Amino acid sequence: MITKEIAINILQKHINLRFNHIQNKKDIFEYFMHKINHSYNVVGAIQRIIFNDKKLNQLSEEIKQIAIISATLHDIARFYQINNWEVLSWSIFEHWNAWYDILKNEWITDNRILLSIKYHNKVDIKWLYNEQDYVNSPHKEKEEIEIITKMVRDADKLENLECLVFNDFTISLNKYSLNKPSEKVIDTFLKQEIFSFKEINSNSDYLLYHLSRLFDINCLGTTSIINSYNFKELVISKLERLWVINEQIEKIRLILN
Nearer of residues 12 and 237 to Fe ion, judged by Cβ: 12
Residue 212 Cβ vs Fe ion, minimum distance, rounded to whole Å: 16
Interaction site with Fe ion (CB under 5 A): 75, 156
Nearer of residues 37 and 227 to Fe ion, judged by Cβ: 37
Coil, strand or helix at 20: coil
CA–CA gap between residue 151 and residue 25 (Å, rounded)? 34
Helix, strand counts (H, E) of the chain: 15, 0
Phi, psi angle pair for 217, to nearest 5°: -105, 130
Residue 185 Cβ vs Fe ion, minimum distance, rounded to whole Å: 22
Nearer of residues 75 and 162 to Fe ion, judged by Cβ: 75
Phi, psi angle pair for 230, to nearest 5°: 60, 35
Nearer of residues 154 and 156 to Fe ion, judged by Cβ: 156
Residue 78 Cβ vs Fe ion, minimum distance, rounded to whole Å: 8
Any bridge partners for residue 178, and if so which?
Answer: 202
CA–CA gap between residue 185 and residue 200 (Å, rounded)? 8
Closest CA to 112 of 232, 1, 240: 1
C-alpha to C-alpha distances, 59 to 71, 220, 233, nearest whole angstrom: 16, 14, 32
Q: Which amino acid is at 254?
A: L
Nearer of residues 155 and 186 to Fe ion, judged by Cβ: 155
Residue 198 Cβ vs Fe ion, minimum distance, rounded to whole Å: 17
Residue 255 Cβ vs Fe ion, minimum distance, rounded to whole Å: 25
Closest CA to 215 of 89, 132, 125, 105: 125
DSSP tag of 129: G
Residue 219 Cβ vs Fe ion, minimum distance, rounded to whole Å: 16
Nearer of residues 53 and 156 to Fe ion, judged by Cβ: 156
Nearer of residues 53 and 75 to Fe ion, judged by Cβ: 75
CA–CA gap between residue 104 and residue 98 (Å, rounded)? 10
Residue 197 Cβ vs Fe ion, minimum distance, rounded to whole Å: 12
CA–CA gap between residue 33 and residue 72 (Å, rounded)? 15
